[in-house]
Amino acid sequence: MRLLCCLLLALAAIAPVPALAQSLQCAPRAQVLDMLAKQAQTRQALGQAGVAMMELFAGEDSQHWTLTVSFRDGRTCLLARGIGYEARDELFPKPGTAS
């Protein structure tokens, strides 16, 4: 979760820039959500990023994930996709512990 927060903060600084959406793969929100549903990915987290909304979707198998940004005009853009998603309460071990 801490990793997601760091990603959201980093992207919040650039999300309001219109040129960002022009260089990304974007489609109407309903179309992107339909694609993610077909891949059995559901929303795991969201956050405000300037005038946009960042969302993290992950598959039921806890392996595939997609990070998106949605704009007020109805566009949703893919920021990143990958495998190896693992939901965790903490990113780093507590001080004084080995793991």
CA 74 to chain centre: 16
To the question of pTM greater than 0.85 for the whole model, the response is no
Residue 37 corresponds to which tokens in the numbers above?
């549903």
* pLDDT score at 69: 95
pLDDT for 53 beyond 50: yes
Query: Domain limits of the chain?
Result: 2-83
58 confidence band (pLDDT: 50, 70, 90):
very high
Question: pLDDT tens digits, residue range 2-39?
Answer: 555 444 444 444 444 444 445 679 999 999 999 999 99
Three-state DSSP at 84 gives coil
Three-state DSSP at 34 gives helix
61 confidence band (pLDDT: 50, 70, 90):
confident
